Chain A
Amino acid sequence: MKTFLLPDLGEGLTDSEIVAWRVKEGDAVELNQPLADIETAKAVVELPSPYEGTIAKLHAAEGETVDVGAPLIDFELAGDEAPAPSGSDASAEDEPAPSPEGGPVATPADTVAEVRDAPAPEEKPEKVSVLVGHITVHGGKPTRKRRAWDVEPFTRQERPSGRPNRAMPPVRKLAKERGIDLQSVRPSGRDGLVTRADLEAAGTASGPQAQPQPASTREKVTGLRKHTAAAMTQSALTVPHAATFHQVDVTETLALARSGDASFLALASRAILLAAKRWPDVTAAFHADTMELERFAHINLGIAVSTDRGLVVASIDEAESMDALELTAAIKDRATRAREGSLTMAELTSSNITISNVGVFGVDGGIPILNPGESAIIALGAVRRMPWEHEGEIVLRDVCTVTVSFDHRVLDGREAAGFLADIAAVLERPALALAR
C-alpha cells in the first residue's frame, strides 16, 4: 500500500480543491494516467498518477479542499509485499533491450541498484523546496515559513532601556516555541547575544509558559490615517464649527436620477453648486494668520471617498461649469481613482467646498468636520421612504437629511441657512434649477 500525499502544485501553495475525480476506488491505473482535476489558487491542473497499481482509497470527495501534505490517495501496488517507489519498482528485465547504437543512456542495472539503496522518501518528513516560500511537511501538516510580505499587525512590547537583546535565528525560534521573551533573558554570548544556554537557564527559572494574551495592543498609525488624524485635529481645534440641518423631500430629484443617466449624487451636487453661486462665501477660505478672506473664481467641489486605505477628498475643479451628466462621470472617475490611489496631488488638495455622502452608510446624517482650508461641508444622509405632507395629504415620500457644517468665522447662521434652503429648494423641485 502506498499513500500519496497532496503535493504543492504551484509555488508555495498550502491547499488545493479536488474539482473532479477521473477514477474511482478499485480502478487499475497506469503511471502518469490522469487521476483528478485539482484547482489551486493559480490554475486547474491534472494530477497524473504517481504509481502503476489499483486505487485502494480516495481520501477526499469532489469539492473538498485538501491541505498540501495530507493523504490524497491510497494505492495498491502490484507485488505489494515488497513495495518500492515508482520508477524503480518495475524490473528492467521485462522490457525489450534497446538496440546497441542507443544514445547516451545509463545502464539500467546501475540505476536500479542505486535506487534500492536509497531510503524510501516516505520514511522521513518530505521537504519540498520552492522558488518562493518554503513548505515543510511534518506528519501530514504543512507549516509554511513566513515570507517577507506576510506582515503581522505591529505590537508594541515593553523593552528594557538600552540595546534590545539579539539572537541567532534558531535560538529565536526556540524562544518563540517556548514562549520565552528574548528581552527577558540575560544574554551571555558575544556582543550581548542570547544563546541557547541562556534560554535553558531562563526556561528552568520560570518554567516554559506561553505568553499571556495582552489586554490591549498598540499599532503605529501611518499613511492616510495619520494624515487624516492631523487634518481633522487641525480643523476641529482651529475652526469654530457650527452646523445646520434640513429634511428635504427629494422624491422628484430621485425620480429624475432613476429616469436618466445622471446620478442622484451628481444632481445633489448641481443643487449645491447652484446654491453656492448665490452664497459665494461658502467656498471662501479664512486665513487666520493674515486675517484675510480669500474668494475663488471657481467652485472646486471636493468629493469625500472612503477607500480601503482611508478617507480622501478628491476635487472636481471648476465644477460649476459642468452639467449633471459631466458631474456623474467626474464623480465616478474620482471615486475609481481614489480607490486605485491614482489621484494627483492637485486633485487631492484643490477643493474649496466638500460633499460627503454619508447616506451610503445608511445613516441620516452627522456633523462633518471641515476639510482644512474650507468654509463649508455638506453631508447627504440616506434617502428614506417616510410619511410626509405633500399637497395637503400625508403620503410616502423620499426624504433625505442634508447637513451643512460651516466655519463660523466666515459664515453666520443666516448665510448657512440660506445656502441650505437653496440646496433644499432645488432638490425638492429640480425644475427650479431651470429657472435660475
Chain B
Amino acid sequence: MSITVPAPDPALAAGLDCPLRVLDLDGTRLHDPLLDAHLGDIDESALADLYLDMVRVRRLDTEAFALTRQGHLVLWPPLLGQEAAQVGAARSLEQRDWVFGSYREHGFALLRGADMAEFARIWKAYAHGGWDPHEINMAPSQIIIGAQSLHGVGYAMAAKMDGSDEVALTAFGDGATSEGDVNEALVWASAFQAPVVFLCQNNQYAISEPVAVQSGGLPLALRPTGFGIPSMRVDGNDVLAMLAAGRIAVERARAGGGPTFIEAVTYRRGPHTTTDDPKRYRDEAEVEAWVAKDPIDRVERALERMGVDMDPVRAEAKVRADRLAKEFRAAAEHAEPPAAEEIFDNVYAQPSRRLERQRAEHLAFVASLAEESK
C-alpha cells in the first residue's frame, strides 16, 4: 500500500512554496497580487508608524528581559525577532475586535493599549491577568499552550450569534498546532464558519523541539486546509505582508466569510523564556542567519529607498522607546505584592456566599495573628 500526500487545494492555501513577501531583505518593495490589493493606503508615513511600533515593541521586550536578569521580574518569554508578525497582525484589527493570545504576545498587549504597570505585575508574579480584558478587547495571556484558540473561536461564534461584526484573532505558536485544543478550535471554527483569524507565529521551536519534528516536514499552513479553512503562509518578518494578510483574514471574517489561518514564518532569536538555554538545542549560525532577516532593519531600508530621511525617524523612535522602557522599568521595580485576600476577588463575577465566608475567615485569622504578636 502506498499513501501519497494530496496536493494542497490552491484555492485554500497561498504561499506554500515560498512565504508571501512584499518587502525584500534589502528593502525592495516586491509585488504580490494577493497582498498588494490590501496595501493601497500604506504610504511612507504609515510605514514609518509601523516602524515606530516595532521599535517600541522590541524595546519593551529587551527591557523586560534585562529586568528579569536584574531580579525585578521573575520570568519573561522574549519575542525578539517576531516584532513584524505581531505588529502587522495587530494593526490589521479594529479596536472593537478581540485578541486571544499566548504568553508571548507582548506586541499585541502594547498596541492594544494594555496598562504597562499592570503588565509588569504579571511577570513579577503579582497579578494573574494584569490588564482589564474588556478595556482593550484582549484576553489575559494564556499559559496553557493553545487553549486560547478555543476561547477565540468561542468568542467569534458568540459574535456571529449576536449579529455583531466583531472579529476574534487568536495567536499561538508552531508548537501549539500539535495540541488538541488548536485542532478542536479549527473544527469548530470551520463547522460554524466563525469570524476568527488563526495567527500561528511559526518561530521554529516548540521550546527546544524544531518545528520539523512536529510538522511531518510539511508547511503548517497546509494543516488548516484539511479542516476546510483557507490559509496563507506569510514571511513573518515582513511587517507589510503581515498587515496585508491580517487585513485579508479580518475582512473575510467580517464579511461572513468564516475563519482564515495565517502561518507567519518567523524566528525566536532569544530563549524560550529567561530560564532556558537555547545553545543546548540550536546552532548560533542559525540565529545569525535570522539576524540578517531582521524585521526592523528591513523597514528602515525600505523607508530609505522611499527617500525618507531616517535620522529624525530613528530619533523619534528612540525617544518613544526609551520612555516606554523607563515607564516599564519603574513599574517593575516598584510593583508591590497584592494582599493575600485578593485571591478571593476574581474567581466569580459575583461573590458567592461560600467564598465570602472563606474570605472573612481568612481576614479574621490574619487579624488574630496581629493581635497575638502584640
Contacts and interface: CB of A to CB of B under 8 A. Distances in A.
Contacts of B126: 129
Interface in B97-147: 113, 116, 124-126
Contact of A111 (B71, B274, B330): B330
Nearest to A97: B319
B69 A130 contact: no
Contacts of B330: 87-88, 111-112, 114-115
Interface stretch (B175-183, B255-263, B320-328): B320-328
B75 A11 contact: yes
Contact of B333 (A32, A43, A48, A85): A85
Given A115-B334, A196-B372, A95 B69 contact: no
B329 interface: yes
B55 to A, nearest CB: 12
A43 B275 contact: yes
A45 interface: yes
Nearest to A137: B71
Main secondary structure of the interface of B (DSSP, over half): helix
A160 B315 CA distance: 76
Interface string A24-49: 00000000100000000011111110
Contacts, number: 111
A5 B315 CA distance: 34
B70 A50 contact: yes
B69 A86 contact: no
A115 B326 CA distance: 11
Nearest to B323: A105
Contacts of B327: 105-106, 108, 111
A46 B69 contact: yes
B277 interface: yes
Interface in A108-151: 108, 111-112, 114-115, 118, 121, 126-131
Nearest to A86: B329
B125 A48 contact: no
Interface in B314-353: 315-316, 319-320, 322-324, 326-327, 329-330, 333-334, 337
B308 interface: no
Contacts of B337: 127, 129
B323 A98 contact: yes
Contact residues on A (Cβ < 8 Å of other chain), bracket: 35 or more
A213 interface: no
B356 interface: no
A9 interface: yes
A48 B66 contact: yes
A212 interface: no
B70 A108 contact: no
Contacts of B275: 10-11, 42-43
Contacts of A131: 74-75, 125
Contacts of B334: 85, 114-115, 118, 121
Contacts of B315: 96
Contacts of A126: 71
Interface string B8-52: 000000000000000000000000000000000000000000001
A90 B75 CA distance: 26
A7 interface: yes
A42 B329 contact: no
B134 to A, nearest CB: 17
Interface hub of B116, B275, B324 (most chain A Cβ within 10 A): B275
A104 interface: yes
Interface in A1-34: 4-11, 32
Contacts of B165: none
Contact of B329 (A45, A87, A95, A168): A87
Interface in B61-93: 62-63, 65-66, 69-72, 74-75
A311 B275 CA distance: 38
Contacts of A105: 320, 323-324, 327
B276 A128 contact: no
Contacts of B69: 7, 9, 45-48
A129 B277 contact: no
B276 A43 contact: yes
B271 A87 contact: no
A20 to B, nearest CB: 15
A36 B183 CA distance: 44
B277 A130 contact: no
B365 interface: yes
A95 B326 CA distance: 12
Given A11-B75, A42-B275, A131-B125, A197 B372 contact: yes
A8 B72 CA distance: 10
Contacts of A98: 316, 319-320, 323
A28 to B, nearest CB: 18
A7 B70 contact: yes
A50 B67 CA distance: 8
A104 B113 contact: yes
30 contacts: A4-B70, A5-B71, A6-B71, A7-B71, A8-B74, A11-B74, A32-B63, A42-B276, A42-B277, A43-B271, A43-B276, A43-B280, A47-B70, A48-B65, A48-B66, A48-B69, A48-B70, A86-B329, A86-B333, A87-B330, A88-B333, A95-B323, A98-B319, A98-B320, A102-B320, A106-B116, A108-B326, A111-B327, A129-B126, A131-B125
Given A7-B70, A106-B327, 16 more contacts: A8-B71, A9-B69, A10-B274, A10-B275, A11-B75, A42-B275, A44-B279, A46-B69, A48-B70, A87-B330, A88-B330, A88-B333, A111-B327, A118-B334, A129-B126, A131-B74
| Shortest Cβ-Cβ A-B pairs, 5 listed | A7-B71, A43-B277, A87-B329, A48-B66, A50-B70
Interface of A: 4-11, 32, 42-48, 50, 85-88, 90, 95-99, 102-106, 108, 111-112, 114-115, 118, 121, 126-131, 168, 170, 196-197
